[in-house]
Amino acid sequence: MKASPADQRRLLDLADLDARIGRADAARKNPPQAARVNELIARRQELSQELTKRLGARDDLRTELKRIESDVALVDARRTRDSERLAASSNSKEAQGLESELASLARRKSDLEDAELDVMDRLEQAEASVSEQEAVIAEINAEGARLSAEGKQSVSDATTAFEQATRDRAAIAGAIAADLLAAYDRIAQRTTGAGLLRRNTCEACNMVLAGTDLQAIRQATSDTVVNCPECGAILVRTEESGL
């Protein structure tokens, strides 16, 4: 294939733009923040499950405390009633029975108060545990919100870069001979379409060419399209090629 050296050099700009388009497309489809955001979502789910357990344990203790407080109130009411009956009683047998019941109620209240103190202590620990878990989740949410905002900006920036590079590519491609462009596009579907031959090295694959390959390239005219024997990219020759 024949093509002017100017057209061949334009292929370097095209290859650079294709690389930029590829990077921008990858960045807009998978912004750098995405992996961490997914990690945070999974972590938050684990933390939320644990929080549900802690909330359940706290609520159970609150229910237990209310039950004990209700029992204490019942005991107090019973003691008040028995004390009033004892004060008004003139029957020694009845009085003895009331005194025995009052003593029993006093023991019952003491036991309830001990249980109440124990539950209150465990409830305080449960409340602290819930608050601790909520604080961790709040930190996760804050980081997730920040990264999500950054991710949206990254996608927006990458989309802008993709669209600009696509427009630039169309402008450069329109100035290249159709047969050369078609050959480049075929190669670009599987590897870098074109690369500069710099100091005997193909910059498309970074391979140093063998002496026999370089000799064949030296013998080719400037308008002959040559390909890298290693990767197949179109080799663009300039004064930097060292031929």
What domains can you pick out in the chain, each with its CATH number? 5-26+174-237 (no CATH), 28-160 (1.10.287.1700)
Q: What is the CA radius of gyration of the chain?
A: 42
- The SS3 of residue 136 is helix
d(CA 217, CA 10): 19
CB count within 10 Å of CB 168 equals 16
Tokens of 163: 């669209």
Contact 8, 177 (CB under 8 A): no
**Percent of the chain beyond pLDDT 90?**
90
> What's the pLDDT band for 93 if we cut at 50, 70, 90?
confident
CB count within 10 Å of CB 171 equals 11
Model confidence, pTM: 0.69
pLDDT in tens, 201-219: 999 999 999 999 999 999 9
- The SS3 of residue 60 is helix
Torsion angle of the four alpha carbons 145, 138, 60, 126, in this order, in degrees rounded to the nearest 10: 160
Q: How far is CA 234 from the centre of its chain?
A: 41
Angle, to 10 degrees, between the axis of helix 92-173 and the axis of helix 34-88? 170
Residue with tokens 């179109």: 234
DSSP symbol at 172: H
Average pLDDT over residues 112-117: 96
Average pLDDT over residues 147-159: 96
Neighbouring residues of 201: CB distance < 8 A, sequence distance ≥ 6? 207, 208, 209
| pLDDT above 80: residue 117 | yes
pLDDT at 240: 87
**Percent of the chain beyond pLDDT 70?**
100
For residue 181, which of 25, 18, 21 has the smallest C-alpha distance?
18
pLDDT at 33: 94
pLDDT in tens, 13-23: 999 999 999 99
d(CA 138, CA 133): 9
pLDDT in tens, 160-174: 999 999 999 999 999
| pLDDT above 90: residue 89 | no
